[in-house]
Amino acid sequence: MAERGGGDRGGFGRGFGRGFGRGRGRGDRGRGRRGGGRRDEEEKWVPVTKLGRLVKEGKITSLEQIYLHSLPVKEHQIIDTLLGGRLKDEVMKIMPVQKQTRAGQRTRFKAFVVVGDTDGHVGLGVKCAKEVATAIRGAIILAKLSVIPVRRGYWGNKIGKPHTVPCKVTGKCGSVTVRMVPAPRGAGIVAARVPKKVLQFAGIEDVFTSSRGSTKTLGNFVKATFDCLMKTYGFLTPDFWMETRFSKSPFQEYTDLLAKPTKAILLENTEVVEA
């Protein structure tokens, strides 16, 4: 909570400083109201999806199990439970977008939020809403839903923990292409401000980057680096040559647990009370 507040304020300052006064009032009001009564709703998560139920029961302990079976994540609380406190978020930009109506312009705010645990997981969320705070909140949820594993490797000599990208990868979105090249230890993240933030959240310590296209468009720039990071696990290297040993999908393993109805029991109780 505290981190989010700090991150937001940092984002706000950056976004607003770029010369846009109209929304500031709205944003401040939103910020002020937040914090108090929120805790209650967040505790009572009633999972709707099968995956949600398994995560809540504690049968699934790591995100990697979800990635292994390519299970779609539909509830952000799943990520919260699995990554919890380690997840930090940062608002990259609040972009006002407008639509023309006969009564003037209808402005909405588009929020770009990057979420990550600085140890191999990043997520990117984009949300547009009429109020800044709503947009940021929605974008954080979407970012959590889109968390991706990032593969790290070595530049040379496999000593210590992996610190850089495993190989040269490139990602593209719109006209922006971002290319990441493995770098030796100590090089640091050699990138522009925007991709640097994303790579820090991913947990990559050293990397050389090169970009092309209209990197001014932050939306595309950030999506291109995200796409690039997605590809790190898509690249077939010799360590993946071994035959996969398939394991049971969690839906099959815990089919008895999932078969137990949850809503039915609640309905029964209320009916009994009424009768």
Q: Which residues bind other proteins (CB under 8 A)?
A: 48-50, 69-72, 74-75, 249, 251-252, 255-256, 258-259
Q: Which is nearer to other proteins, 97 or 257 (CB)?
A: 257
- Distance of closest approach, residue 51 Cβ to other proteins, in angstroms: 8
What is the nearest approach in angstroms of other proteins to the Cβ of residue 90? 27
Q: Kindly tell me which of 265 and 275 has the beta carbon lying closer to other proteins.
A: 265
DSSP codes joined into one string, the chain = -HHHHHHHHHHHHHHHHTT--HHHHHHHHHHHHTTSTHHHHHH-----SHHHHHHHHT----HHHHHHTTPPP--HHHHHHHHGGG-EEEEEEEEEEEEEETTEEEEEEEEEEEEE-SSSEEEEEEEEESSHHHHHHHHHHHHHHT-EE---B-SSS--SS--B-SS-EEEEETTEEEEEEE--TT--EES-HHHHHHHHHHT---EEEEEES-TT-HHHHHHHHHHHHHHTTTS--GGG-SPP-----HHHHTHHHHHS-SHHHHHHHHHHHH-
Q: Are strands 121-129 and 104-116 parallel, antiparallel or unpaired?
A: antiparallel
Smaller CB separation from other proteins, 41 or 239: 41
- Shortest CB 144 distance to other proteins, Å: 15
In the complex, minimum distance from the CB of residue 201 to other proteins, in angstroms, rounded to a whole number: 27
CB of 74 to other proteins, least distance (A): 5
Q: Of 217 and 249, which CB lies nearer to other proteins in the complex structure?
A: 249
Q: Which is nearer to other proteins, 140 or 258 (CB)?
A: 258
Nearer to other proteins, 49 or 81 (CB): 49
Task: Supply the minimum distance, in Å, between the C-beta of residue 123 and other proteins.
Answer: 18
Q: Are 215 and 133 in contact (CB under 8 A)?
A: no
